[in-house]
Structure 1
Amino acid sequence: MTYLIALDRYRHFSRAAESCGVSQPALSAAIRQMEAELGITIIRRTRRFNGLTDEGKRVLEWARQTLAALDGLRQEAAFAQEVAGGTISIGLMPPAMQTIPLLLESFRTAVPGLHIQVRMGSSADTIHRLRQQQLDLGLVYLDQIPDDSPFDTLPLYTEQHVLVAAEPLVLPAGRQDWSSLADLPLCLLGPEMRSRQIVDAAFRGAGISPGIVLETNSLEVLYGELLAGRLASILPVAALPTHTGHARLQVRPLGPCAAPEVGLVRLASSLPTALSTRIWNTAAGVNMHDVFTIG
Structure 2
Amino acid sequence: MFLRQLSYLVALDRFRHFSRAAEHCGVSQPALSAAIRQLEHELGVTVVLRNRRVFGFTAEGERVLAWAKQSIAALDGLRQEAQFAHEVAGGSLSIGTMPPAIQIVPLLMESLRAAVPALHLSVNVAASADILRDLGDQRIQMGLMYLDQVPADGPFETRHLYAEQLVLAASSQVSLPNRTACRWDEAARLPLCLLGRSMRSRQIVDACFREAGCEPAVYLETNSLELLHAELQAGRLATILPTAALPAGRETVAPLQIRRLSPCPTPGVGLVRLRQPVVTALMARSWEVACGLVLDDALKL
* TM-score above 0.5, yes or no: yes
Equivalent residue number for residue 198 of structure 2: 192
Equivalent residue number for residue 261 of structure 1: 268
SS at match of 1:258: coil
Contact 1:198 1:257 in 2 (8 A): no
Cα RMSD, aligned residues only: 1.9
Whether 1:80 and 2:85 are equivalent positions in the alignment is yes
CA distance in 2, matches of 1:291, 1:143: 22
Query: Which of 224, 228, 249 is equivalent to 1:222?
Result: 228
Q: How many residues align?
A: 220
Equivalent residue number for residue 94 of structure 2: 89
Contact 1:83 1:274 in 2 (8 A): no
Query: Which of 141, 147, 152 is equivalent to 2:157?
Result: 152
Which structure's CA Rg is the greater one? 1
Query: Which of 220, 227, 242 is equivalent to 2:248?
Result: 242
- Between 205-214 and 174-183, report the one with greater CA deviation: 174-183
CA distance in 2, matches of 1:291, 1:132: 33
Whether 1:161 and 2:163 are equivalent positions in the alignment is no
Where do residues 1-295 of structure 1 align in structure 2 (5 Å cutoff)?
80=85, 83-172=88-177, 173-243=179-249, 245-294=252-301
For residues 108-150 of structure 1, what are the alpha-carbon distances to aligned partners after superposition, in whole Å with 9 as ceiling and x for unaligned? 0000010000001001111111111110101111111111111
CA distance in 2, matches of 1:223, 1:124: 25
In 2 relative to 1, CA 268–207 (structure 1 residues): closer, same or farther, beyond 3 Å? same
SS at match of 1:278: helix
Q: CA deviation at 1:260?
A: 1.4
* Paired-residue identity, %: 55
In 2 relative to 1, CA 208–240 (structure 1 residues): closer, same or farther, beyond 3 Å? same
* Unpaired segments ≥5 residues, structure 1: 1-72
CA distance in 1, matches of 2:285, 2:224: 33
Contact 2:195 2:224 in 1 (8 A): yes
SS at match of 2:139: coil
CA distance in 2, matches of 1:83, 1:183: 56
CA distance in 1, matches of 2:254, 2:150: 38
SS at match of 1:96: helix
Amino acid across the alignment from 2:286: I
Q: CA deviation at 1:265?
A: 0.6
CA distance in 1, matches of 2:223, 2:84: 43
In 2 relative to 1, CA 273–232 (structure 1 residues): closer, same or farther, beyond 3 Å? same
Contact 1:169 1:231 in 2 (8 A): yes
Amino acid across the alignment from 1:238: A
Amino acid across the alignment from 1:122: A
Q: CA deviation at 1:81?
A: 9.5
Q: CA deviation at 1:248?
A: 2.1
Contact 2:271 2:291 in 1 (8 A): no
SS at match of 2:232: helix
CA distance in 2, matches of 1:105, 1:234: 28
Contact 2:84 2:282 in 1 (8 A): no
CA distance in 1, matches of 2:235, 2:243: 19
Q: CA deviation at 1:79?
A: 5.7
Misfit runs of 4+, over 6 Å: none
Contact 1:80 1:275 in 2 (8 A): no
CA distance in 1, matches of 2:84, 2:246: 40
